[in-house]
A = this chain, B = another copy of it.
C-alpha cells in the first residue's frame, strides 16, 4: 500500500514513525510550510511535497493528520484519482471527507508529546469508513501495528474524545495542582508517586467507581472544610477542590 501522509505536526510525527517502523510504505509527506515536513519526510524515507497539487494522485491511502481547523481547507484543495482518504481527528465528523469516493477515520486514542517515545503496540485505533469494504480495508491495514481496534461512528468518537479529556488531560491537571501545592511548601512530587501508581492500578483493575476513596467519598465535611481553609491562598485550586468534592458527595451519598 502506497501511503501519503498530510501533515507533520505532533500526531503526524508519531503516526509516521509507527507506520514506518511497522514496515509501511510512506511515499510522500505533505506540508505547506517547510521545516517540520522536510525533517519528517527524511525520517520516513519519503518524498517531501509542499505544493498540494503535486501530491501523487494514485496512492492507496491518504492520511490527513493536521490540526482540526485546517482539515476542511486542506480537503477543499485536495484532488485525487484513487485511494481512500482518512483523517485522524477525535472530533471532526467523517463526512467532511465526502467529496472523495472512499473515506474514513483513523483516530489514534493516545496522548502524544513531542520527544516522548511510547508503546505503539498498545494504542487503540478508532476506525470508521463510508462503506463496509473501506472499513475492512482500514481494519486490515491497522492490524499491522495495533491489536486494539474499535469500530466507532463519528457521534460516539466525540463521546470517547470528551471522556478522554477527563481521563487524561484533567487527570494530569490534578497531578499538576498537587505538584504546585507541594512545590510551594518545598516538598517533592516524588512523595506522591507510589500513591498515584496505586490509584491507577486500582482504577484499571477494578473500576474507578468502585475504587473511590477520600474525604468526599466518606462525606467527611469537617476535613473537607479544613482542606478548603488550607487552600485559602489558592482560590482557583480551592474552587476546584470544592466543586469536585461536591460532585463526589453527590455521586456517592
Q: Are B156 and A187 in contact (CB under 8 A)?
A: yes
Interface locus among A24-32, A38-46, A160-168 = A160-168
Give bound CA distance, A99 to B4, whole Å.
76
A179 CB to closest chain B CB (Å) equals 5
Contact with B along A158-185 (1 / 0, CB 8 A): 1111111111111111111111111001
Q: Is A78 an interface residue (CB 8 A)?
A: no
Q: Are A110 and B198 in contact (CB under 8 A)?
A: yes
* List of B residues within 8 angstroms of A196 by Cβ: 167-168, 171, 200, 203-204
* List of B residues within 8 angstroms of A180 by Cβ: 209
Q: Is A57 an interface residue (CB 8 A)?
A: no
A212 CB to closest chain B CB (Å) equals 6
Q: Are A169 and B222 in contact (CB under 8 A)?
A: no
**Chain B CB within 10 Å, residue with most, of A109, A122, A164, A248:** A164
Give bound CA distance, A194 to B124, whole Å.
7
Q: Within residues 196 to 228 of chain A, which ones have a CB less than 8 A from any CB in chain B?
A: 196-204, 206-209, 211-217, 220, 222-223, 226-227
A222 CB to closest chain B CB (Å) equals 7
Tell me how many residues of A have a C-beta within 8 Å of chain B: 90
Task: Using CB atoms and an 8 Å cutoff, list the residues of chain A in contact with chain B.
Answer: 68-69, 91, 109-113, 116, 118-119, 122-124, 126, 148, 150, 152, 156, 158-182, 185, 187, 189, 191-204, 206-209, 211-217, 220, 222-223, 226-227, 230-231, 236-237, 239-241, 243-244, 247-248, 250-251
A176 CB to closest chain B CB (Å) equals 4
15 A-B pairs in the complex with CB atoms less than 8 angstroms apart: A68-B223, A109-B191, A110-B195, A111-B211, A162-B227, A163-B192, A166-B174, A169-B213, A169-B216, A171-B199, A172-B211, A176-B209, A179-B207, A239-B243, A240-B243
